Amino acid sequence: MIVPCIDLMDGKVVQLVQGRDKALEGDAPLEMLRKFAAFPEIQVIDLDAAMGKGENSVLVELLAARARCRVGGGVRDAARARRLVDQGAHRVIVGTAAFTPALQEIAAAVGPERVIVALDSKNGKVVVKGWVEATDFTAEEVIGRMAPFCGGFLCTYVDKEGMLQGTDLDWFRRLRAATDREITAAGGITTIDDVRQLTAMGVHAALGMAIYTGRLDLAELAALNNNL
């Protein structure tokens, strides 16, 4: 499955490089949703909520009411996860909180099948708290013990995120071998060949910068997605 991304900051659709520097702004949220209408699921990340700088809850609710959305950003406890589901989110993405007892509570509140755990890797180690704090372990080491509390994983190769320089396909192969849960790849996916290789190994592709800059054609992606 190919999953287009809508990242929200200050009420606007944006794309960041490595989660820090704003590279561009997209069209209005509903216009982006219209452009992505051919895809079965959209990824919506509230960057302000993720960074603890407010939230875009009105826009999140607007998008979730109109499309099947997986929503992330600031999901630190069961109450926030439940609220997003009540607002229409099909699934919730849990990042930093996945490495705390809150993961079990979130899974109990909304059901593990509605939880996607974000495993973000930089310099070979999982990073948390907006990708600024490195842990001592790799994604391959923790993916197995988190599997009972989620329906899948969003795995971001932060080293190349937003840079349009390709991604680490070997890393995704190792992750695919480490769990039978759904895996969605993100970070540096740039070409249609990247997408084909990921889907061939049974990994979904979350696409942001390559779509927004026109490096990947939406019509070609939609056609590929329909054949998966």
pLDDT value, residue 28: 95
Is residue 120 flagged as an active site residue?
A: yes
**Which of 7, 46, 48, 194 is flagged as catalytic?**
7
Over residues 16-62, the pLDDT tens digits come to 887 777 889 999 999 999 999 999 999 999 999 988 899 999 999 99
How high is the pLDDT of residue 18? 76
Q: What is the mean pLDDT of residues 99-126?
A: 96
pLDDT of the residue at 68 = 98
* More reliable by pLDDT, 133 or 150: 150
Q: How much of the chain exceeds pLDDT 90, in percent?
A: 85
- How confident is the prediction for the chain on average, in pLDDT? 94
**Which range has the worst mean pLDDT, 31-40, 128-137, 188-197, 209-218?**
128-137
pLDDT at 135: 86
**pLDDT at residue 110 in the model:** 98
What average pLDDT does range 162-188 have in this prediction?
93
If we measure between CA atoms, which residue out of 163, 156, 170 comes closest to residue 128?
156
- Is 46 part of the annotated catalytic residue set? no
For residue 172, what pLDDT is reported?
97
pLDDT of residue 133: 84
Tell me: pLDDT of 101 over 90. yes
User: What pLDDT does 17 receive?
Assistant: 85
**Average pLDDT in the 144-171 region?**
92
Which of the residues 46, 48, 120, 194 is marked catalytic? 120
| In the chain, where the domains are located | 2-226
Lowest mean pLDDT among 131-135, 164-168, 186-190: 131-135
Q: What is the structure's pLDDT at 51?
A: 86
- The arithmetic mean of pLDDT across residues 198-220, rounded, is 96
**What's residue 164's pLDDT?**
82
pLDDT at 27: 93
Can you identify the CATH homologous superfamily of domain 2-226? Aldolase class I (3.20.20.70)
How sure is the predictor about 226, in pLDDT bands with cuts at 50, 70 and 90?
very high
